[in-house]
Amino acid sequence: MGNIRETTLEIDLSALEHNFNFIKAKLKKETKFLAVVKAFAYGSDMAIVAKKLENLDVDYFAVAYVKEGVLLRDAGITAPILVLHPQPINFEELIDRCLEPSIYSPRILNSFLETAKKKRQTNYPIHLKFNTGLNRLGFWHNDISLILKKLGRETALKIISVFSHLAASEDKKEREFSLQQIESFKKISDELSEKLGSSPMRHILNTSGVLNYPEAQFEMVRSGIGLYGYGNESVIDAQLKPIASLKTIISQLHQIEPNESVGYNRAFKSKDYRVTATLPIGHADGISRQYGNGKAFVQVNGQKAPIIGNVCMDMVMIDVTGIDCKEGDEVVIFGDTLSAENFANTADTISYELLTAISQRVKRVVK
């Protein structure tokens, strides 16, 4: 039995430091490190994780939305913060909190320029996002002249960086495509620098990009998942340490007789005598219904126990037949001994989705 008394996400800051150092060691000395802390630092705790990373001297942070950048500023983070996907409705607040927008389309450029002028800004830092094949966000190569025409005599804005995003950096079968993306990014940034007469920072690599395309570090890289302990391949996973462990306890044990059922819609039907345990964690906490009905396993006193029946909003039931356990005992959902990647794979998803789904209802504790 551990010291867990309710469903808890334990955060291990020494694991975070280990992962940071692991990725940092792959970079050239002069390459800057941007830490991606969007979605509550991949479901952990944005303020605590960002504070630790700021102490480790990361150069930049990135979040997806303005609201997340505001959370970081409220937590006292002073490093520059790139907002990857800002919306015009939040531009005034973005400027008030010294956040730096990704400018990804002519509409966003016009709108941000207008707000910056209205707020009497000069040289406000912006980051130009180009689409090189992901086809999600970004200017096209041939938008360069439009951008420069728009910014021509303007002093309100200053291009701090130019960046793009790889579509399949973790997929070795798509190496050709990724190299093409890197090549077109090079062309775009060269043309931009030449016409601009100055050289903004360039960045295209995420975690798997750092691992698979070290030659494309340019001036900065953007790492998220690696910091949290997952590297999209097992050899890397073995060298990283998951920072978050999701643990809970056994609320109640039940002796189930043959032909009884367990849970909603009677989805689990017992053929023989079983012992089940009910846990205080459900789909409202981020363990989605896909993990039910025998797909995913949790760990009780070091032994594997399947989630049986349908996952409820606030509870799951597991089969602990033959496992030595009692009410109040600790249960590991995922963590250092049970990888979130493997847990996620049982329901055909990935660590990113499982981690970021852990809801704010779950208590966070720094180990």
Ligand X SMILES: *Cc1c(COP(=O)(O)O)cnc(C)c1O
Binding residues: 136, 313
51 touches 77 (CB < 8 A): yes
Find where tokens 């025998």 sit. 294
Q: Given 104, 264, 271, 326, which residue is catalytic?
A: 264
Which amino acid is it at 145? Answer: S
Residue nearest to ligand X (CB): 224
- Positions in 36-75 near ligand X (CB under 6 A): 36
Known binding site for substrate: residues? 136, 313
The verdict on 178 binding ligand X (CB under 6 A) reads: no
Nearer to ligand X, 69 or 263 (CB): 69
Residue 54 beta carbon to ligand X: minimum distance, rounded to whole angstroms: 18
The verdict on 165 binding ligand X (CB under 6 A) reads: yes
Q: Given 38, 52, 129, 247, which residue is catalytic?
A: 38
- Which residue from 77, 83, 24 is spatially nearest to 52, judged by alpha carbons? 77
The verdict on 207 binding ligand X (CB under 6 A) reads: yes
Give alpha helix (H) positions in the chain.
Answer: 13-24, 38-43, 46-55, 66-74, 91-96, 106-118, 144-151, 175-196, 207-212, 234-237, 340-345, 351-357
Number of residues that bind ligand X (CB under 6 A): 11
Phi, psi of 140 (to 5 degrees): -95, 160
Residue 70 beta carbon to ligand X: minimum distance, rounded to whole angstroms: 19
Nearer to ligand X, 224 or 292 (CB): 224
Residue 210 beta carbon to ligand X: minimum distance, rounded to whole angstroms: 8
* Cα separation, 62 vs 203, whole angstroms: 12
- Positions in 224-253 near ligand X (CB under 6 A): 224-226
Residue 143 beta carbon to ligand X: minimum distance, rounded to whole angstroms: 18
Nearer to ligand X, 104 or 343 (CB): 104
What are the tokens at 33? Answer: 């490190």
Q: Which stretch binds ligand X (CB under 6 A): 114-122, 205-213, 256-264, 310-318?
A: 205-213
| Angle subtended at Cα 348 by Cα 345 and Cα 353, rounded to the nearest 5 degrees | 75
Which amino acid is it at 167? Answer: A
Nearer to ligand X, 212 or 223 (CB): 223
Determine how many CB atoms are found less than 10 A away from the CB of residue 250: 23
* Of the residues 7, 8, 131, 223, which one makes contact with ligand X according to CB under 6 A: 223
Total residues found in the chain within this entry: 367
Give the DSSP letter string of 186-250.
HHHHHHHHHHHTS--EEE---HHHHHH-GGG-TTEEEESGGGGT--SSHHHHTTS--SEEEEEE-
For the question of residue 213 being annotated catalytic, the response is: no
For the question of residue 264 being annotated catalytic, the response is: yes
Given the rule CB under 6 A, which residues bind ligand X? 36, 84, 165, 206-208, 222-226
Q: Which residues are catalytic?
A: 38, 264
